[in-house]
Structure 1
Amino acid sequence: MTNTREILLRAAARVVRDQGSKAFTLDAVAEVAGVSKGGLLYHFPSKDALVWAMAAERVDALRSQLDGYREANPAATLLEAYVATIDADQTDMDAAVLIAAAEQPRRGADVRADFAALLAQVTDGLTDPVLGDIVRLAADALWLTSLLHLDQFDDHRRDAVIGRLVELARRADSEDPPE
């Protein structure tokens, strides 16, 4: 069974998805979640706390996606897993990452540090870390353009782009010297 905290996080994400960030208020979240504002404040004492909890939830979900991919593909590097799953399960929680970064650029140091550490792990120890950085940044751009509905790829082209990025991710960790 889903707990109240999870219900509130999902409701907050739905508010952002359905109504936009300007409509993202504690009152709107409480209404969508079907709880009183006091009930919401019990779990999240401020809008800041709610936003950063949403961002932390997304980082945790990404970590779980990476772990799941690597369990199914034991030879995969973390970079390959990152690229292969970057677009697999965009959630409403992804918008929280953008809200958190845009509305509170100096807050959420712990979530930022956790996410930065995860991103550093993605390319850590690669044979060609620069190629790894390029691949990760391209995957990030793919995620962002999709989230903002800016990407013009059909599914076939998108799959081909992801496939090529996976190939490059593997090459970034190959023993062959970079070209």
Structure 2
Amino acid sequence: MKRDVLLDAAEAVLSEQGTQALTLNAVAERAGVSKGGLLYHFPTKESLVRAMVARTIDEFDDLIASYIDSYGDGAPDAYTRAYVEATFEILTGDARTHRRWSAITAAATGPEQAEPLNEAMRRWHTRDPAGDSDPSAATVVRLAAEGLWEVMGHAPGLYGEEQLETLKQRLLALLDR
């Protein structure tokens, strides 16, 4: 049994039923494997949650990198633009993706589980400002995108597609000043 199949099953249980329903038995059942098969890859619920958090971080890093690559070398404010684009892709894309990411971060309740996410946040928000035309504006833009992500985690239908596109364009325009 591949780890990704097990992680997909765990994420499905988590996003559909909440943190209380995330048990090793529920994940094994959802994945169609024995509990022993699950335990071979993830000996504890905590290790399963850590793996989900790590995969989420990697996915976001990869999304940011793909936007940076699409801009070409030396594009001004490339990192912050990519951060905003990646954030809005998640917020406006498949609704399950945003719910899944919110559920995973909510499940990382222990310090050991949350530390990789905390480290990623530090990395995402304390980038070397050398590529930013206005480092303060870049920080404000990233924090605003992060805040919107948090708000939409609690109120997913608060903004429609048109409003989100307007917000994204406004944040990106702040970098052009």
Aligned to 2:86: 85
Determine if the alignment matches structure 1 residue 5 to structure 2 residue 3.
Answer: yes
Whichever structure has more helix as a proportion of its residues is 2
Provide the aligned C-alpha RMSD in A. Answer: 2.0
Give CA deviations for 1:112-157 in whole Å, capped at 9, x if unaligned.
3244224322x63234322222211110111122233345111101
Determine if the alignment matches structure 1 residue 124 to structure 2 residue 129.
Answer: yes
Determine if the alignment matches structure 1 residue 107 to structure 2 residue 115.
Answer: no
Q: TM-score, normalised by structure 1?
A: 0.82
Kept in 1, the 8 Å contact 2:9–2:31? The answer is yes
Aligned to 2:94: none
Q: Distance in 1 between matches of 2:42 and 2:129?
A: 35
Kept in 1, the 8 Å contact 2:53–2:116? The answer is no
Q: Determine helix, strand or coil for the equivalent of 1:152.
A: coil
Aligned to 2:104: 96
Residue of structure 2 aligned with 1:165, choices 160, 171, 177: 171
- Matched residues, number: 165
Q: CA deviation at 1:56?
A: 0.7
Q: 1:137 to 1:20 in 2, by over 3 A?
A: same
Q: Distance in 1 between matches of 2:121 and 2:40?
A: 26
Q: Which amino acid aligns with 1:81?
A: A
Q: 1:148 to 1:131 in 2, by over 3 A?
A: same
Q: CA deviation at 1:65?
A: 0.4
Q: 1:80 to 1:21 in 2, by over 3 A?
A: same
Q: Which amino acid aligns with 1:124?
A: P
Q: Distance in 2 between matches of 1:98 and 1:124?
A: 30
Residue of structure 1 aligned with 2:141, choices 102, 123, 135: 135
